[in-house]
Amino acid sequence: MIKLKYNGHANICLTKDDITVLIDPFFTDNPVNKVNPNEIDCDYILVSHAHFDHIGDAIDIAKRTNATIISTAEIANMVSNQGCRAHGMNIGGKFDFEFGFVKVTQAIHSAGIEGGCACGFVINFYGKNIYFAGDTALFLDMQLIGRMNNIDYALLPIGDNFTMGPIEAVEAVKMLNPKVVIPIHYNTWEPISQSPIKFKEDVEKNTDAKVLVVDFGESIKI
């Protein structure tokens, strides 16, 4: 059984047996987070880019737990220089880990670090293919991501303003063809206020995918 916990914003936790993967662990100063980052234990941390609301508490958690940070080369180098274990990757690359594999995908967004790029991930976690889009605009190559990866769960930003909004995210679902969609990156602050229920209605009206609206702090089985 895989547990997915949504800590709000783009902060995701995947757990099975004794392996835990964090994605964009923004806990401190996250207004919708209900978790003390000092109580987090994990084995791997995926960081999509270096904006404060995504790299978040990654360095502190990694130092305390000895978790490996998986990210783009620039972020991996930066955190290594601060005493963290890291595995650097780049767009289009894939690497096997004990839980499955990670592929690094394009994300159209600014990087938050000099010389870097934002990214998303396809995470094969114990046989489930989970696409974490990261902070991104809509882009046509999402159809290739969907075609090549048989996506079980797509975690898509819907907040608009900084990322694609609900209208664009519906188009992303059409291209990705996932079985299930979970909206993320919304309602943290007023500029990204959206209705996930309206998004669910639009997706299920226009595609074959199902939408799970996961409350902030809620855990689900996938």
Question: Per this entry, what is the length of the chain?
Answer: 222
> Model confidence at 98, in pLDDT bands (50, 70, 90)?
very high
Tell me, what's the pLDDT at 152? 98
Question: Helix (H, G, I), strand (E, B), or coil: what is residue 64?
Answer: helix
Structural domains present in the chain: 3-213 (3.60.15.10)
Tell me, what's the pLDDT at 71? 98
Residue 134: phi and psi, rounded to 5, are: 70, -170
Q: In the chain, pLDDT over 70 holds for what percent of residues?
A: 100
Q: What is the DSSP string of 107-137?
A: --S--SSTT---EEEEEEETTEEEEE--S--
**Per-residue pLDDT tens for 58-80?**
999 999 999 999 999 999 999 99
Q: What average pLDDT is seen over the chain?
A: 97
Query: Model pTM?
Result: 0.98
Tell me, what's the pLDDT at 165? 98
Angstrom distances, CA of residue 211 to CA of 77, 96, 157, 173? 37, 29, 13, 10
